[in-house]
Amino acid sequence: IDFIQALTMEGSKDKDKKPDMTEHERKKMDIEETKKSLPVYPFRDDLIAAIREHQILIIEGETGSGKTTQIPQYLVEAGFTENKMKIGCTQPRRVAAMSVAARVAQEMNVKLGNEVGYSIRFEDCTSERTILKYMTDGTLHREFLSEPDLASYSVMIIDEAHERTLHTDILFGLVKDISRFRPELKLLISSATLDAEKFSQFFDDAPIFRIPGRRFPVDIFYTKAPEADYIDACVVSVLQIHATQPLGDILVFLTGQDEIETCQEVLTDRVKRLGSKLKELLILPVYANLPSDMQAKIFEPTPPNARKVILATNIAETSLTIDNIIYVIDPGFAKQNNFNSRTGMESLMVVPISKASANQRAGRAGRVAPGKCFRLYTAWAYKHELEDNTVPEIQRINLGNAVLMLKALGINDLIHFDFLDPPPHETLVLALEQLYALGALNHHGELTKMGRRMAEFPVDPMMAKMLLASEKYKCSEEVVTIAAMLSVNSAIFYRPKDKIIHADTARKNFNHIHGDHISLLQVYNQWADTDFSTQWCYENFIQYRSMKRARDVREQLVGLMQRVEIDMVSCLPETINIRKTLTSGYFYHIARLSKGGNYKTIKHNQTVMIHPNSSLFEELPRWVLYHELVFTTKEYMRQVIEIESKWLLEVAPHYYKPKELEDSTNKKMPKTAGRATMTE
């Protein structure tokens, strides 16, 4: 690949830190010294004084300054956890919550889960003794249900506020509200970027505490021409750096686990073929579902005379700081959940990142020494094709879940909720309509008994409805398993490059004629029959870790089913009831076969296709239900089952009319799209 250098991001030179110090030497400093070396350290006393003086403080400081790991410890040392009070700190990402908690427990020399713990969806690693609790923003959002005034907390830190996830945005409104009637509760809003002014305005002009950054200059390089295959370009760039550049670790930004695994395989393979000509290259992945022992690995010091290359999702953009990164490779993409409020369709797609993201990524190269960032796109593309900022989630994703939670908190008037940036009106209306159709709200927009039960589950409203519907169809055992499997879905089947045929054959053995949800159920049940054997997973190309996670999630869900008083019963071997139950939750996600093996969604007549991985890919049933849409070259339905159209009238009579479900395949196709033209 040909790179041209365009500019250098200037950073302030740092006097008390020697850029020529290696990671190894640095790691040899004991923890105390490392703590003292962080940019936030000199401001410790000023910061505590400011927190004592003000109820709400906005903290701005570059990634890696020590905001997340240090400030909570300063608060503990300053006595904020006396009288059994806790300090909470939210993170937008689960991996960050776990990894930071582990680090802080280590720094404080306590066992993780005791004084320092974390709580994320389906996993609570805290105890009676926990005084410092890291959690995802979604978890805190849920905590409001059981403790609406956050009475057990003396300080709440909304961290990584710049990420502007949906949950973080809603938390802003919630914590601002409770700060008014709990004047002793301290609120810290911490951000890595320049949104501080905006946060300050929102929180009634709260003061901003700035931690001056330390940054070394980063040279930015662009490709001369656009790259057709950015994974391959990443591999080539890593090898080029490894062969020609001085030691120093490499950080590569990819969009998800699949890409990371592909890249890891290709890279491992090429390095092997190069033999001992080059220095050792350690390849380490980081993504959301990475098991915790693997997470810890990325922080281990690089051995002397070796180089680490970290393949990460944009989790490493600001949430996690890995020391000693000198080179960044940025293909310029990220995976994003997008919702089209016109069609009501939600879909996961790979999109170009914003300029702000690109600059954050580049900045990761300049933390310990001058660095280099290789952008796998042209300077022209950077300038003309990237948006300035990423659009906050609240303005681009489905709000069903958030609205259900707010309703469950008794917040009825959502139009006037205190949003930092309000969601689009039509998205809000659509969420209300959807919750109404699911039976969670009545026609006054108030929460129903069903809605209250749905809110007990930390899953999206459609899945919650599905879980509850299993009561009626007497298949709770199976549906709970399916829900658990769906929550780890993409990572169940293992498909190594050199054994693709074996892997695909193994996978086909699980295929069920009625579709993927049932296939997943079979995988789980067969595994359970072997008493959860590792060997069985290995033989069947199933990822053991994902299965273990599915089992944990399943256990949690069974607990929640008990809470809403649903007995665990099984309906196997019959699958009709299971599929009816799935339809009760996902009746929005229905498509009908149309010409040429394509499908059309019922309400909006969008063209979609069955994903090639699906067990129904060659079956093409007339009516299908899908779990999610992914957009790659086409809009694909992933996880599909066959249903019967008449079930829709049974499970969602208020949403579907018999007329729109008529099977038109034998009749003349309507000239124009839409149900108005359909003949009876």
- Whole-number Å distance between alpha carbons of 375 and 363: 12
Supply the Cα-derived Rg of the chain in whole angstroms.
26
Only one residue has tokens 């169809």, namely: 473
360 near ligand ADP (CB under 6 A): no
- Whole-number Å distance between alpha carbons of 522 and 534: 16
Closest residue to Mg ion in the complex (CB): 68
Which of these ranges, 64-72, 244-252, 547-555, 665-673, lies near Mg ion under the rule CB under 5 A?
64-72
Question: Between 116 and 483, whose beta carbon lies closer to ligand ADP?
Answer: 116
Query: What letter does residue 276 receive in the DSSP assignment?
Result: G
Closest approach, Cβ 106 to Mg ion, in A, equals 16
The region, left, alpha or beta by phi > 0 then psi within -120 to 50, assigned to residue 284 is beta
CB-hemisphere CA count at 13 Å for 298? Answer: 28
Q: 338 — phi, psi (to 5°)?
A: -125, 150
Question: Between 69 and 341, whose beta carbon lies closer to ligand ADP?
Answer: 69
Closest approach, Cβ 92 to ligand ADP, in A, equals 12
Which of these ranges, 66-74, 325-333, 525-533, 603-611, lies near ligand ADP under the rule CB under 6 A?
66-74
- Whole-number Å distance between alpha carbons of 99 and 644: 46
What character string, x for contact with Mg ion (CB under 5 A) and - otherwise, covers 68-107?
Answer: x---------------------------------------
Query: According to CB under 6 A, which one of 11, 64, 72, 363 is a site residue for ligand ADP?
Result: 64
Question: Between 91 and 519, whose beta carbon lies closer to Mg ion?
Answer: 91
Question: Between 214 and 307, whose beta carbon lies closer to ligand ADP?
Answer: 214
Q: 374, 252 in Cβ contact below 8 A?
A: no
Query: According to CB under 6 A, which one of 57, 59, 67, 495 is a site residue for ligand ADP?
Result: 67
Only one residue has tokens 């079956």, namely: 619
Query: According to CB under 6 A, which one of 126, 139, 165, 321 is a site residue for ligand ADP?
Result: 321
Query: Measured between alpha carbons, how far is residue 298 from residues 104, 295, 628, 670 in Å?
Result: 16, 6, 32, 57
Q: 207, 58 in Cβ contact below 8 A?
A: yes
654 CB burial (10 A radius; 0-12, 13-18, 19+): exposed
154 near ligand ADP (CB under 6 A): no
Q: 187 — phi, psi (to 5°)?
A: -120, 125
Q: Give the three-state DSSP class for 325.
A: strand
61 near ligand ADP (CB under 6 A): yes
Binding residues for ligand ADP restricted to 91-130, rule: CB under 6 A: 99-100, 102-103
Q: Which does 299 bind (CB under 5 to 8 A by kind): Mg ion, ligand ADP, none?
A: ligand ADP
Only one residue has tokens 């790659």, namely: 632
Q: Which does 61 bind (CB under 5 to 8 A by kind): Mg ion, ligand ADP, none?
A: ligand ADP
CA 368 to chain centre: 28
Query: According to CB under 6 A, which one of 65, 237, 398, 511 is a site residue for ligand ADP?
Result: 65
Q: Which does 436 bind (CB under 5 to 8 A by kind): Mg ion, ligand ADP, none?
A: none
Which of these ranges, 65-73, 363-371, 551-559, 650-658, lies near Mg ion under the rule CB under 5 A?
65-73
Task: Write out the residues near Mg ion by the rule CB under 5 A.
Answer: 67-68
Task: Write out the residues near ligand ADP by the rule CB under 6 A.
Answer: 38, 61, 63-70, 99-100, 102-103, 299, 321, 323
